């Protein structure tokens, strides 16, 4: 069963990596750049500020299915970022627990975050979001234990202060 879950997780990550192209464009020329200590501190400060902005409130989001043939309804959820952990209120009600999330600074100054929630009885949910201009948006994919994929987008209703 563990090998099967690894394959499922790999497919899920590949699927969301493709969706992630909506968040960023690859630079035309990639070159190694040595960061100065001031630059590193600046990025660290931006990520710390983003954690604070994320944790200041519960984020009410509208979730829309990307494939209306599989799921045709819109729903709301409440996302929280507390003590460096991510929680979806809807998924918590189904037995998913809060998990650590990661943050990354993008070239456009936006902050992206990711979290993977897993429930042995239900499946895996991979979230990828973007915090920019005091709004939260992104995608999440639900992969059931039966192998069914459902992709959603989300957008915050309430913006950060």
Render pLDDT for 7-16 as a digit per residue (tens, 0 to 9): 455 545 545 4
Residue 149 confidence class, pLDDT cut points 50, 70, 90: very high
Q: 90 — phi, psi (to 5°)?
A: -65, -40
Closest of 139, 124, 98 to residue 11, by C-alpha: 124
Predicted structure pTM score: 0.75
Which position has the higher pLDDT, 23 or 153? 153
All residues at 6 or more sequence positions from 92 whose CB lies less than 8 Å from its CB, including other chains: 98
Would you say residue 145 has pLDDT above 80?
A: yes
All residues at 6 or more sequence positions from 159 whose CB lies less than 8 Å from its CB, including other chains: 134, 135
Q: Write down the CATH number for the domain with range 2-23+56-156.
A: 2.40.160
pLDDT of residue 28: 40
Yes or no: say if 124 and 117 are a contact pair by the CB < 8 Å rule. yes
Yes or no: say if 111 and 50 are a contact pair by the CB < 8 Å rule. yes
Average pLDDT over residues 129-137: 90
Q: Over the stretch 36-87, which tens digit does the pLDDT of each residue have?
A: 656 888 899 999 999 999 999 999 999 999 987 666 688 999 999 999 999 9
Can you give the residue ranges of every domain in the chain? 2-23+56-156
Yes or no: say if 156 and 148 are a contact pair by the CB < 8 Å rule. no
């Amino acid at each position: 069963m563990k090998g099967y879950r690894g394959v499922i997780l790999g497919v899920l990550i590949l699927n969301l990596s493709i969706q992630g192209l909506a968040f960023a464009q690859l630079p035309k020329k990639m070159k190694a750049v040595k960061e100065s200590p001031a630059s590193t501190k600046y990025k660290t400060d931006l990520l710390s500020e983003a954690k604070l902005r994320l944790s200041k409130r519960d984020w009410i989001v509208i979730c829309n299915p990307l494939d209306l043939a599989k799921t045709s309804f819109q729903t709301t959820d409440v996302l929280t970022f507390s003590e460096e952990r991510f929680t979806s209120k809807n998924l918590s009600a189904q037995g998913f627990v809060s998990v650590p999330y990661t943050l990354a600074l993008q070239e456009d100054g936006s902050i992206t975050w990711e979290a993977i929630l897993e429930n042995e009885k239900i499946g895996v949910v991979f979230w990828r979001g973007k915090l920019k201009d005091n709004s939260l948006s992104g995608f999440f994919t639900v992969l059931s234990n039966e192998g069914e994929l459902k992709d959603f987008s989300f957008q915050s209703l309430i913006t950060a202060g």
